[in-house]
Structure 1
Amino acid sequence: MVIEDEYIRLIFGLKLKQIRTDKKLSLFGLAKLTGLSKSYLNEIEKGKKYPKPDKIVLLAEHLEVPYDHFVSLKLDKNLAPVGEILQSKILKEIPLDLFGIKENVLIDIVANAPAKVNAFISTIIKIAQNYNLTRESFFLASLRSYQEAHNNYFEDIEADAERFAKSYQIDTTKKITSSELEEILIEEFGYTINEDELSKHKNLDELRNIFIPKKKILLIDKDISEAQKTFIYAKEIAYNFLNIEDRLYTFPWIKFESFDQVLHNFIASYFAGALIIPRTIITQKLTDLFAEKTWNSLHLHKIIKQFNCSQETFYQRLTNILPKYFNIKNLFFLRFTHNQNSENFRLSKELHITQQQAPHANRNHEHYCRRWISIKTIEDFKKSSKKRATFGIQISSYENENNEYLVLSSATSDPFKKDIQRSVSIGMLLSNHLKKKLQFLKEDTFTKRTVGVTCETCSVKNCTERAAKPTKLEKKNRHKEIANTVDEIIASYH
């Protein structure tokens, strides 16, 4: 096994720090004792430098530690968990830089209480295993946290999209088409577009494109919609215009080599949304919509139609614009999928800005509340001609909570999978601020429904939409009754 230099430096630094602190020496004290500079010793302990043999001899003599112990990669019992973490490469998998965390800082925290931190990390890993948390879902959760930390608005990517439009004379006041983006890919970036190859492979029917980097060939499904093609082309432009090389090569993506590829996919997708739905235009149109005194769903539909985008792209774009330009930050985005031959609904994508609103991805195989508009729009779509999207809007009032959300939802066939329907929804916390922003939002403007999270945890009585008994709630109540009875018995003997 090839041992990385970085790992060797870190192990030596951890050992030195442990020996120094065991002997109750400060860095200043060790520097005075050995004649080595404090800054040099600090860099050794942080794993930035590895001392030459004569310096190791000096440290060993003054700290009264065998030379062989210093240079050995074997760690004592207290530091062994740290070594396991370093060797497991888990710190390389976690996108620390994304959250402004330095790897050495985290290692320092671990080193100060290795047994406790190791126990904590082991617990997290076991929980992840029990909930089938894959490497993919871990990276996606990290990305989602990154988006939420920035209220899902990235000024630099917005500016990049506008810079591209100006540089290539794209008229963003008009609906952007795939043909004008295709011309740029071919003429400016040397692409070859092939619409025939994918149809020759039946097992690739869920893929919409494959990019072959060596030849700069983009294989694209000839049957996709104009909006899908435009989005794919816009992503390809992002990779080239932003000089992103470490990237994914398929859409939808099927594998990745690193977190950077997942992050770069997000950046390219954000760029595409910002280009297709420019912030200045969508902000003005939403301002006009929110100023209307009465609600008319056709006005929202007309806004969506003015952009060459899918329902999902538009709803996701709202999660960028609403927090930044309307200060509507307590919101969530959900995407549900449903196989028409199944009774189950799966939450396949979620984003929560500011608050962690219910629901979240359900890994306990419980049944999501059928009262949600997200699920109702899918049911309505199944009953329709299945050619046009179905829309819905309601106020969801969560049982046993004070929170209520105005939720907009639309459902269509899944463009990538057969016999699958999906809905996308955006929910906004009902507040005085929201009511001031949305002039049409009155007390009786929209239907209000009491909703739960899952049927198994829901206490709503006489629910005709219930898909399962409230087994989790009943178990919780039984345990509560038992605890109360035990308390009463104990109190009676006082």
Structure 2
Amino acid sequence: MGDYLAIFLYLAYRNTMSNKTISAGMSNNTDKIKIILGLKIRQLRLDKGYSLSDLANKSGLSISYLNEIEKGKKYPKSEKIMSIAEAFETDYDSLVSLKLSKQLEPIAELLNSNILRELPLEIFGVEPSDFIELMSEAPAKISAFISTIIEISRNYDMRVEQFYFSVLRSYQEMYDNYFEDLEEAAQQFRKLYDIVATTSPNEAFLSDILRNFYGYQIEEFSKETHPDLISIRSVYKPESSRLLINKDLSHEQKAFTLGRELGYQFLQIKKRPYISSVLDVSSFEEVLNNFKASYFAGAILINKEVLINRLTYFFASPKWDGNSLLSIMRLFNCTPEMFMHRLSNLMTSHFKINNLFFLRFNNQTDDNLFYLNKEMHLAKLHTPHGTALNEHYCRRWVALTILKDLENLQKETGESAHILCKAQVSEYIDTGNKYLVISIAKPSPPKNGLNSSITVGFAIDDNLRQMANFLGDPDLLHRQVNETCERCGAIDCAERMKPPLVLEKRAKMENIKQAIQNLV
């Protein structure tokens, strides 16, 4: 049932958001009628103790056909329904009635809602009938589980966008964040427009394609012309094919924005968000399509064959060199975030390094608060992860220390346009898990004074040891780390922001349990 967890979460929260726009999924009442009949036949068969073979013999229908009916894929003609009813010694009307038994009542409630029409089942390779079959195995228990998730979502005031992105992360994790169909589309695009392997197209080239082949009107806006949009990177107006791009973006950010627009057009994506920031999302389909277009942009700007070749030499070096990694990044017309995303794509697909995580932190200068606003964990490695409890992330993480290093450098030089790259081996105090963590820190226009760190971490295992020769570099920083200050027992830590409150509470409860056990 693990593969369905994200779907259950999504399902539960969507049940609380009935005012949202409905997207494709379970298309109409015909689907519901098919599924109800299939459920009733399956339940009757199980109640009678019949196998599919037994029912086939009694009804004169084939096993494969009966299986299709039970899964809600087919609705038989009247005479065949009559044959099934006779096999169960029941009447025709009871069988075709839309009323379900008490045992299946939780499913009836599910079917009568809009939930199945909202679920992005197809991206997980799941059909609505498969999901209903799972529900039918233990409807009361799963219904209670869903109710619990709904209650949690309400208590924590979780937004629908958070669930959309949770489902998207699960989707990325299922495919190790590498999508061959999007890679092939990007290569077709590069070939169509004669982009040589070593070239990373710039904003002028991408703008010309959008204007000449797709009829775009492209304009830049500023805080003077559109003061309310100053925190937005781009806005697309479909009725006039007009693309507004924030003037304060870097050249690399503009190239990515244009590449994403080309992704929407080249992949023939219709349902899409029209602004770069996620302010209000009407469906999961928009979130998924935005991801596809963004992935496509990264793939056309960073040719995978060139990056694979450079990374092979980089990891073969016996010495860690952050500047060398930045030099590879500068071969491409890309942002550090796009580069690190691309790194995560290719580490799983071509270097077989699947145990990795991706984090993005934001930090305002002169502020000691850090905000984790993007994360992805492959192979379910959730040791460094976001928390909903407003705890203080470990200040020994290179993802955080590099942000303060960047801030200090900006103050010393009076210039904001610096980029730093650092790495460390992080060993978690409680678990002993070790990671090679590589982080790039950079300013984040158009917001003034905002810096971001983009981090990719790799679990140190035999695969990584064989590939990354610089793991043995004595100059590579090693640090003991933990999740948050509130959960850390390193009392003498100089970077501690808060006492270990969670840890102390847990220890207190253990002492109480032990005292009770001693009395017993």
Tell whether the structures are fold-level matches, with TM greater than 0.5. yes
Matched, 1:387 2:410: no
C-alpha distance in structure 2 between counterparts of 1:329 and 1:49, whole Å: 40
- Indicate conservation of the 8 Å contact 2:200/2:300, yes or no: no
2:15 is matched with which residue? none
Which of these residues, 348, 351, 358, is aligned with residue 376 of structure 2?
351
More displaced 10-residue stretch of structure 1: 4-13 or 39-48: 39-48
- Indicate conservation of the 8 Å contact 1:336/1:348, yes or no: yes
Matched, 1:74 2:99: yes
1:192 is matched with which residue? 217
SS at structure 1 position matched to 2:194:
coil
RMSD of aligned Cα (Å):
2.6
Q: CA deviation at 1:184?
A: 1.0
TM-score, scaled to structure 1: 0.91
2:481 is matched with which residue? 451
Go from structure 1 to structure 2 and tell me whether the alpha carbon gap of 1:29 and 1:458 turns closer, same or farther (over 3 Å shift): same
1:46 is matched with which residue? 71
1:146 is matched with which residue? 171
Q: What are the superposed Cα offsets for residues 78-111 of structure 1, whole Å, 9 maximum, x if unpaired?
A: 1110112223333333322222222212211211
Go from structure 1 to structure 2 and tell me whether the alpha carbon gap of 1:16 and 1:250 turns closer, same or farther (over 3 Å shift): same
SS at structure 2 position matched to 1:12:
helix
- Indicate conservation of the 8 Å contact 1:198/1:219, yes or no: no
Equivalent residues, number: 489
- Indicate conservation of the 8 Å contact 1:459/1:473, yes or no: yes
Go from structure 1 to structure 2 and tell me whether the alpha carbon gap of 1:455 and 1:25 turns closer, same or farther (over 3 Å shift): same
Amino acid at match of 1:118: S
Matched, 1:440 2:465: no
Which of these residues, 260, 273, 286, is aligned with residue 311 of structure 2?
286
1:276 is matched with which residue? 301
Q: CA deviation at 1:290?
A: 2.3
2:238 is matched with which residue? 213
SS at structure 2 position matched to 1:295:
coil
C-alpha distance in structure 1 between counterparts of 2:348 and 2:68, whole Å: 42
C-alpha distance in structure 2 between counterparts of 1:416 and 1:248, whole Å: 20
Q: What are the superposed Cα offsets for residues 408-461 of structure 1, whole Å, 9 maximum, x if unpaired?
A: 212233324444332111112233443332333325222211111011100112
Q: CA deviation at 1:314?
A: 1.0
C-alpha distance in structure 1 between counterparts of 2:229 and 2:511, whole Å: 55
1:265 is matched with which residue? 290
Q: CA deviation at 1:191?
A: 1.4
C-alpha distance in structure 2 between counterparts of 1:85 and 1:340, whole Å: 48
2:354 is matched with which residue? 329
C-alpha distance in structure 2 between counterparts of 1:435 and 1:54, whole Å: 66
- Indicate conservation of the 8 Å contact 1:279/1:321, yes or no: yes
1:408 is matched with which residue? 438
Which of these residues, 427, 435, 448, is aligned with residue 397 of structure 1?
427
Which of these residues, 316, 329, 342, is aligned with residue 304 of structure 1?
329
Higher relative contact order (CA 8 A, sep 6+): 2
Matched, 1:125 2:150: yes
1:228 is matched with which residue? 253
Q: CA deviation at 1:358?
A: 1.8
Amino acid at match of 1:421: N
C-alpha distance in structure 1 between counterparts of 2:208 and 2:41, whole Å: 60
C-alpha distance in structure 1 between counterparts of 2:107 and 2:233, whole Å: 44
- Indicate conservation of the 8 Å contact 1:366/1:455, yes or no: yes
More displaced 10-residue stretch of structure 1: 406-415 or 49-58: 49-58
Matched, 1:23 2:76: no
Q: What 5-or-longer segments of structure 1 have no aligned partner?
A: none
Which of these residues, 78, 84, 92, is aligned with residue 117 of structure 2?
92
Q: What are the superposed Cα offsets for residues 187-240 of structure 1, whole Å, 9 maximum, x if unpaired?
A: 112211122488633222221112222322212222211101111111111222
Q: CA deviation at 1:484?
A: 2.0
TM-score, scaled to structure 2: 0.86
Go from structure 1 to structure 2 and tell me whether the alpha carbon gap of 1:17 and 1:289 turns closer, same or farther (over 3 Å shift): closer
Q: Structure 1 vs Structure 2: percent identity of aligned residues?
A: 41
- Indicate conservation of the 8 Å contact 2:232/2:246, yes or no: yes
1:116 is matched with which residue? 141
Amino acid at match of 2:504: E
More displaced 10-residue stretch of structure 1: 24-33 or 481-490: 24-33
SS at structure 2 position matched to 1:440:
helix
Q: What are the superposed Cα offsets for residues 296-329 of structure 1, whole Å, 9 maximum, x if unpaired?
A: 3322222222211111111111101222232322
SS at structure 2 position matched to 1:251:
coil
SS at structure 1 position matched to 2:102:
coil
Q: CA deviation at 1:34?
A: 4.7
- Indicate conservation of the 8 Å contact 1:197/1:219, yes or no: no
Matched, 1:102 2:132: no
C-alpha distance in structure 2 between counterparts of 1:274 and 1:85, whole Å: 40
Q: What 5-or-longer segments of structure 2 have no aligned partner?
A: 1-26, 411-415
Which of these residues, 385, 388, 406, is aligned with residue 363 of structure 1?
388
SS at structure 1 position matched to 2:388:
coil
- Indicate conservation of the 8 Å contact 1:394/1:447, yes or no: yes
2:198 is matched with which residue? 173
Amino acid at match of 1:20: R
